[in-house]
Structure 1
């Protein structure tokens, strides 16, 4: 085990346009140094090389992608203003609607589904000038049954779930950034397994309109990229108030990239939290956090969560399973024999949840956040594992337990690829922030990566 200084294991793809990040590519296209079509062609070439092994894409139409790129090049040539992602290809998880592309959500029950409208986040990407490259693989209805995707670092291992295709595509250099979703651990965990940055915003920052509903109180749309800066810019673009999403708060632009790249006013202090599931951490993860604490010295303290957090995973399960039972009722009623056994069990469990238990489980979100506020009054962020360790085999998507508390509390979190396990595979550090202070979290995570890089 070694703390690697956020190298993110991105040496793997090589060199070329497909290996550049979102911020750099947007700058090159805006300056006229490269064309959007060239960038898109580079990504398509990388996909042709890596896709047979990685299997990250549910739907890819090269002509569709190149037509967008050529139109964006013509737009630039006309002298009109450019958006912040002009000419940058982005992958979209296949539970997010894209006009003109299939959205089959990882299940045969939605085979042939082709939405007529863009999801709110896709509309924002188009307005920013992004090239919608294609749809990335998801697990069955974004739950637990694995899809076809393999880990780019070891095809015998899982890339995680349910945003498996997005994490793997970014890690393999197929696309500089992608969207994922998280209802339990589906941005943070696959980012850890694949060695990329995964950012799950505060629950009320990004609209879910046009995205498969699993559990509205927890569903969040996040970003995958190969740097904090890239994940921040992509999140800046998709964030913003949408009156059609009742869970959103009215607020101005979050300015995540601007905040993330600013120097902290004082040296941050961090709280290392083992969480009630520390016994699930692998030996190399435990050793890595011991090394991390040793390197950071007086900038980090170990902090124990109060006893009520021991219930958080059960509370989350109560709400999530009941919500899945409600929102997936048509799949169960019309095609239960074509659902995985695990998903059927979740739906059946959700149908047994009592109304009083469901209501109480939702009320505890704010109670636990009150306790977190006391931690965040003293510390800039919490650090904790993103996953138990390196990616396991392909039979499952890995344990989301280290993500569950934070998803339940609706707080922002980011995976920073800081560690390498005994088998040479990435292990992410999860950095967690106060609800609604996403920019400060990203700034602290960027500081942490830089601080450890000086000791690598």
Structure 2
């Protein structure tokens, strides 16, 4: 991806207009809610790709939950129609400083909650693209943007990436700045990335979070976790995952079954934290602009306001304990592999799908990566999810690249 940014002889402005025109001509799926008419005033003066600007010329699609000073930011809500923040979200400012430009704002559910957007799955418009980061996943899947920003509080990066057949990455909690992003649940909200390959995700992440330029040796040992919610997965998803594991074993990797029933407790506590913090973070919007908020969300906020703080405190303490206990799973394995979703994207646009395969990992604050290496009964993509220990993002990328090579051509990548 990035190697091609400096090729072709286009000026920065020409590059910007070409990317914009491609979106205008190709967005048949509702990926974008705003695409600017003209590039930033200083874009024509931007320099070439170099060590100081490693992302020079990179178009980035940005979920409409991130503040952008030069574009409207509505957070997916009619209550913020026409809202123009005074400054960029921190990560948007960082990307611009690294040479990237914001291609446009992508569709999100209201405040990253519900109901679904009107966007559709680019593989089959009768199926959901997932959510809440629907537009960002679509933008990458449809070839409208090489990389996109999203957020995950339950499963809002990994699940839509799985449904739309792209690579989705959720780093460890707090690894990327959330300043300037509409908060939903402070203890869970995590900035994530979408791209077409592990290499592309890693290049952008390394630019944002520089680390030592060294190889990460792998043992070739993976833990396969069906998990407590395996029975909720569609049969074709189970078959696809088992087949993928068999292919990895045939390629020479050691894949051992692992069990961690505590993941169910992590998922349950995640929901408690999510609901309580939603009620606090969205209180002012509910109080002042409730008539402009979707009725189902309005009711959800009202219910969240009734939840006792003691329940939230108990859930937070329980999750701290589970995070410590989870580390033992990584003593022998490079990563844990599991399903990224319960199956292919569900038919219909009334739901964004089930986040049960994601919420527990989000609550554990661990990095997750989904690869579009599997396929469901209708040929729609299903992701294989990789999970590593906190702050082991670069090892996760190494495992992801290895699995991409082993399973190339199986799914919709």
Q: TM-score range by the shorter chain?
A: over 0.9
Show structure 1 runs of 5+ residues with no match. Answer: 1-20, 240-252
| Higher helix content, 1 or 2 | 1
Q: What is the CA-CA distance between 1:267 and the residue it aligns to?
A: 3.8
Matches within 5 A, 1:233-252: 233-239=203-209
Q: Does 1:444 align with 2:399?
A: yes
Question: Which of 401, 410, 415 is residue 370 of structure 2 equivalent to?
Answer: 415
2:17 aligns with 41
1:315 aligns with 269
Matches within 5 A, 1:19-418: 21=1, 23-26=2-5, 28-29=6-7, 33-51=9-27, 53-64=28-39, 69-72=43-46, 75-76=47-48, 82-239=52-209, 253-254=210-211, 258=213, 262=215, 264-297=216-249, 299-306=254-261, 308-392=262-346, 393-418=348-373
TM-score where L is the length of structure 1 = 0.85
Matches within 5 A, 1:9-24: 21=1, 23-24=2-3
Q: Is the 8 A contact 1:161 1:186 kept in 2?
A: yes
Tell me the secondary structure at the aligned position of residue 429 of structure 1: strand
Bigger drift between 149-158 and 94-103 goes to 149-158
TM-score where L is the length of structure 2 = 0.93
Tell me the secondary structure at the aligned position of residue 203 of structure 1: coil
Q: What is the CA-CA distance between 1:309 and the residue it aligns to?
A: 2.8
Bigger drift between 106-115 and 229-238 goes to 229-238
Show structure 2 runs of 5+ residues with no match. Answer: none
Q: What is the CA-CA distance between 1:396 and the residue it aligns to?
A: 1.0
Tell me the secondary structure at the aligned position of residue 400 of structure 1: coil
In 1, Cα distance between equivalents of 2:267 and 2:409: 36
Q: What is the CA-CA distance between 1:379 and the residue it aligns to?
A: 1.0
- RMSD (CA atoms): 2.0
Q: What is the CA-CA distance between 1:50 and the residue it aligns to?
A: 2.0
In 2, Cα distance between equivalents of 1:341 and 1:112: 21
Tell me the secondary structure at the aligned position of residue 402 of structure 1: coil
Residue by residue over 1:389-430, the C-alpha shift from the partner in whole angstroms, topping out at 9 and shown as x without a partner, is 111121111111100010010100011110121211111111
